Amino acid sequence: MALTAGYVTSIIKHAVAGPLSSPLSELQLANEAGEYMVGLHKWSYLKEAEALIGTVASQEYIELPLDFGQPLSLEVTDGFTDAVVMTDPGTFNRVRTGSFGNGAFSYWLTLEYAVPATGDEPKVPTPRLAIWPTPTSTDADWATLRYRAAWTPLTASDDVVQIPRYCETLYLSICRAMAQGYEEDEGVELEDRLLKIAAGTVALAAKRADAAHQWNYGKLKGGAGMVGTRWTSWEGPMAGPSTP
């Protein structure tokens, strides 16, 4: 049977013998518990299928999927002409301001968060990819992104909780702990309740079940056998060390 938001809120009420007395609603707490669970572990079930992302002419960033959580890999569609590198904000800023050349790459990317300055949309940080040089053309299929998804918010009682069955006990335990932590914090602090769950057998069982989905990671990469005579850094190729 699918786990619905209505059932989750009933579990929350049962944990504290009635509706929450705090300003936080049961549905809000259900989402807060989900966010916590998603951040508790790098869950394999959150690895999304590929999504196409595109450039917009004269726009200095690329929009990401609405459920984007963490990047896993990015491959440019036309890899023969466009070479890209993901880098940290500091290196990206140095490249963009001309501190050093563009090297062997056509584009540089870095993950940034932007808060809308105007409009009616919620004023919350939204992830996006900053890109340099600024694209001169629009290409909706510019690259393929694989990513780990974020928590899917629950907005109505009939919404289905987007988690696998092996995570349901862990999720409901977190919901109960949060409800009791907010309502009955005189005895045991919320943090202590969550710490006990994170270190317990329920969380361990869910992590083991999740890890069993990836049984092979392929051959090891980056070893001594892959070392050549030419050295390469993220800033571009450079000469190898001199011999004394």
In this predicted structure, the answer to whether residue 235 has a pLDDT above a threshold of 60 is no
pLDDT, one tens digit per residue, over 58-104 is 999 999 999 999 999 998 887 666 678 889 999 899 888 886 555 55
As a whole number of angstroms, the distance between CA 145 and CA 62 comes to 11
Torsion of CA 61, 66, 69, 75, to 10 degrees: -50
- pLDDT of 240 reads 46
Q: Could you tell me the two tokens for 221?
A: 């990469």
CA 61-142-230 angle, 5° bins = 90
Bridging pattern class, strands 231-233 and 51-55: unpaired
Residue 111 pLDDT class (50, 70, 90 cuts)? very high
As a whole number of angstroms, the distance between CA 72 and CA 64 comes to 13
- Classify the phi-psi angles of 83: left when phi > 0, otherwise alpha if psi is within -120 to 50, otherwise beta: beta
In this predicted structure, the answer to whether residue 231 has a pLDDT above a threshold of 50 is no
The domain locations on the chain are: 5-45+151-211, 48-150
Q: Which residues contact 174 (CB under 8 A, 6 or more apart)?
A: 33, 36, 37, 194, 197
- pLDDT of 234 reads 46
